[in-house]
Structure 1
Amino acid sequence: MPGARIRIPFSQQNLMSNINQFEFLDEPAASLSDMVFKFLEDGDWSSGSEGCRENEMLELEDEGEENNGNVEEDKSFWENQHQLLHATLFRTSSLESRIRSISKEALKEIRMAGTICGCGRPMAASCRSCLMEEASSRLRNAGYNSAICKTKWRSSPDIPSGEHTFMDVIDNSSSKRGDVRVIIELNFRAEFEMAKASEEYNQLVLRLPEVFVGKVERLNSVVKILCSAAKKCMKEKKMHLGPWRKQRYMLTKWLGTTCERSTTMPPLSMGPSSRLPRPKASMLTVDLKEMLPDLHCTAVAVV
């Protein structure tokens, strides 16, 4: 308080025991304990505690509403992705339908016949490159300009380097539309599978066809939907999304600027391979006495 002076009796040995001897010159003497208790009585501490509890309850209610809002938002996101993917895949043109039909029929015949490619392996089981060559050849026999495409790209700050091989068909039957490119990917679903994905993402991937046949615009839309879902999935699981899962990298696989088209064909044979195995010489089958007539052999008794 202004103008007040305190006189402290330093002659006392125990300052704490005589603290009540403090005197204010301008006011009557009062003990420190009385002042403290009077201060506590004047303050409305019970109402303050109730206010804190009310604030805590409001914060908990806000958190609950926020969590409920996030759940509804996540559910709406995945439902929207399913609807977009369904609409994109099932809205197809007559050109895409014809190419898809020929491609599926060719793959079915190859699997049933057990075609052996020039690599000496079952084509349908392990040789993807020869499988693409055979399917592309059948599309060419049907009158389509089909080829094997190989894209390559260098690393950049956004994506790592890589390469990818797939099929395509370029249709120029209409002068008004110009060249129309149709992408054919035999392992399309596997390109988007992730080991630690959520159930919602896995269900979305299962909607993808194993063999994709579609125009560039359709491929672009599908990749955008799946990459957006992959980003959402990793965010929900609080995991890092690899650069090879991002939209730019995925599109570069099929729509890269550097693309080589090839129509070469390996030698094929239907059914089991007729190639005879090359005989291999072994030291165990060599007659040393014929090769070395002067060689003297001494019989040794085996005990």
Structure 2
Amino acid sequence: MITRDIAEFLALARGLKPDFGPATARAAFLVAPDGFRLAEQSAADNRYMAQAAGFDEARASAQHRELHRALAQVLPTVCFAGNPQTPDALFPNNVFATAAGRYVVGRMRHPVRQQEAGRADIRAFFAGVLDYAEIDLSMQPHPCELTGALVIDRARGIGFCGLSERCDEEGARLMHQALGLRATLMLDLAPGEYHTNVVLAVLAGRAALICPGGFAQAEVVEAIAGFYAPHAVLLSAAEHAAFAGNAIALSGDAVWMSERAATALSPASRQALAGAGFDLRTVPLDAIEAGGGSLRCCVGEVF
């Protein structure tokens, strides 16, 4: 099922057991921020990006290496070389996604990011090393920026897909089919939002971080919060602006977010995460956040 009807989605989703697959990834992959700089095409619809003077490639590279080291303590983590011709490539989860036995290549909106889909080394890693089947959506006309646009509850096989210039309805359907999801709720993001994963994180299938200001409809916020109650954490505008919604669980006991995001968390939000069984792990990523994304955007998942 893929629908805009909240009641229809919930009627199905509430009956699903968390038996679709592992709730968290078995490995992760990154792309180094080589040539990290302002990508003007991406800046056209990403209000989180800094001005050109706010980019520091050396600091971003150092922080990215620290992220790699930190994640590698939790699960196998591969880092591919960057390409100065693709300055947004450090956010690979928009371009490549996986499900059991397959990998999906997304269709990016901006030409500068469409180049990333042609990475022969990343494709060879999935197809040749992991022996995953390929589903290539990159050449069809509908934008579908994978797990930037589509936040997935991997335990239940359900998705929450925010529509914007980065993902239209047909793109949502293509991703839903490619990833073999049981149900996907299509929703409208608030004006100025470009990716769902900046305003929503589903953590190991049992909790959710939700930025109410990132959604066009309060009913959607209420539905998602109700579905993940009692472990739904509604984030404030300040927490939202600090990328606290751009978080990820890579194991069942910890949630990862940037140091800036964690600093912005209220005591109530911290307590709610602890109550859901999550420790908080952080890495300083302020230089990377100049590019308009944070920790979750940097992490591609291997299922």
**By percentage of residues, which structure has more helix?**
1
Q: TM-score, normalised by structure 2?
A: 0.21
Q: Which has the larger radius of gyration?
A: 1
Structure number with higher relative contact order (C-alpha < 8 Å, ≥ 6 residues apart) = 2
